[in-house]
A = this chain, B = another copy of it.
Amino acid sequence: MITFKQLRYFEALSRERHFGRAAESVHVSQPALSAQIMEMEASLGARLVERGRRKVILTREGKRVLAHARTVLTSMAELERAARPSSAPLVGPLAIGLIPTVAPISFPGWCRI
């Protein structure tokens, strides 16, 4: 099963193009990140990156997966924002009270006495 963690690690890997630096950027050890990438490849049944001495390059599938991974990560961030009570849409009727002496001056033509 794919996990968010794997998507984050994979995104870091595609950004850094280097297992060691990618691991560092997500604050885990290189073997930990490596294991998750391998696990992810196993889950998806596809090789995502080509490992080379001086190059870590995404495969065709890797590129496509990366695009979707970013979408998922973004959606996830939005989900977390949506959970904040402060982000409430505040949709509904709004009544504003005004004292009669001020209303005609503040909102001329709009106040109901």
Q: A61-B85, A84-B46 known; A79 and B4 CB under 8 Å?
A: no
- Does B68 lie within 8 Å of A78, measured CB to CB? yes
Does residue A72 face the partner (Cβ distance < 8 Å to B)? yes
| Cα(A88)–Cα(B48), bound, Å | 14
Q: A75-B68, A75-B71, A79-B65 known; A46 and B1 CB under 8 Å?
A: no
Residues of chain B lying within 8 A (CB to CB) of residue A76 = 2, 68, 72
Interface residues of A in 51-81 (CB under 8 A from B): 60-61, 64-65, 67-69, 71-72, 75-76, 78-80
Instruction: Report, nearest first, the 5 A-B pairs whose CB atoms are least far apart.
Output: A68-B79, A44-B83, A64-B82, A72-B75, A46-B83
